Amino acid sequence: MEAILSLGLGFGLSAACGFRVFVPFLVMGVAERTGHLQLASGFEWIGSDAALISLGLATALEIGAYYVPWLDNLLDTAAAPTAVVAGVLATAATVTDMSPLMGWTVAVIGGGGIAGTIHTGMALLRGLSSLVTGGLGNPVVSTAEAGGAVTMAGIAITLPMFALAVVMTLVLASGVKVAKRLSRGAPSEASATR
């Protein structure tokens, strides 16, 4: 049961990394500092004064930058690999009841995969918003992403089993959205045989 709770916590924080990279780490640091979260060995630094100050500043800059009209789409592209790495680290920092090999394997495949899937789904949504509204709807998307990151990180820490259910729903929805997008770009079998 502890392993499942640990996975819910790690995967929930990884999903939050798919929305915003720094928000989950700031929430983790505050939770660790207040005694609501025990981090894996080697990750205790996330709750240090220097880390909290740095993460607070990085969070403010990241959230603010997504409200700049052309910068938001550019950040989506640049943040894709960063979100995956953040998802891996968030899961690795919270999975405490597994061997290091299993923990890192779960972190890389599960945590990184979840963060990447959520981030890709949100990037597609922002692209659609840019196309349909000329970028005027993007602040709404940015607000929803920031709120999603804070909410998902909070749920992961307080209700890890519920977070696991939410993550599976988000991954499924994002995966369907990405698959539809990819299938529209692929040539049909009939046109490929002509």
pLDDT digits (tens, 9 = 90+) for 33-89: 999 999 998 999 999 999 999 999 999 999 999 888 778 878 888 888 999 999 999
- Helix 49-65 crosses helix 23-33 at what angle (to 10 degrees)? 150
Residue 97: its pLDDT value, please? 81
Q: How many CB atoms lie within 10 A of CB 94?
A: 30
Top-confidence residue, 55 or 179: 55
Contact 67, 142 (CB under 8 A): yes
Residue 123: its pLDDT value, please? 86
Contact 42, 23 (CB under 8 A): no
- Per domain, the residue ranges of the chain are 2-175
Q: Above 80 in pLDDT, residue 188?
A: no
pLDDT digits (tens, 9 = 90+) for 127-148: 888 889 988 888 999 999 999 9
Residue 190: its pLDDT value, please? 47
> What is the model's pTM?
0.86
The confidence band for 23, taking pLDDT boundaries of 50, 70 and 90, is: very high
> How large is the average pLDDT for residues 167-175?
83
**∠ CA 103-109-115 to the nearest 5 degrees?**
110
Q: Which residues contact 82 (CB under 8 A, 6 or more apart)?
A: 21
pLDDT digits (tens, 9 = 90+) for 105-130: 999 999 999 999 999 888 888 888 88
Residue 186: its pLDDT value, please? 57
Q: How many CB atoms lie within 10 A of CB 147?
A: 13
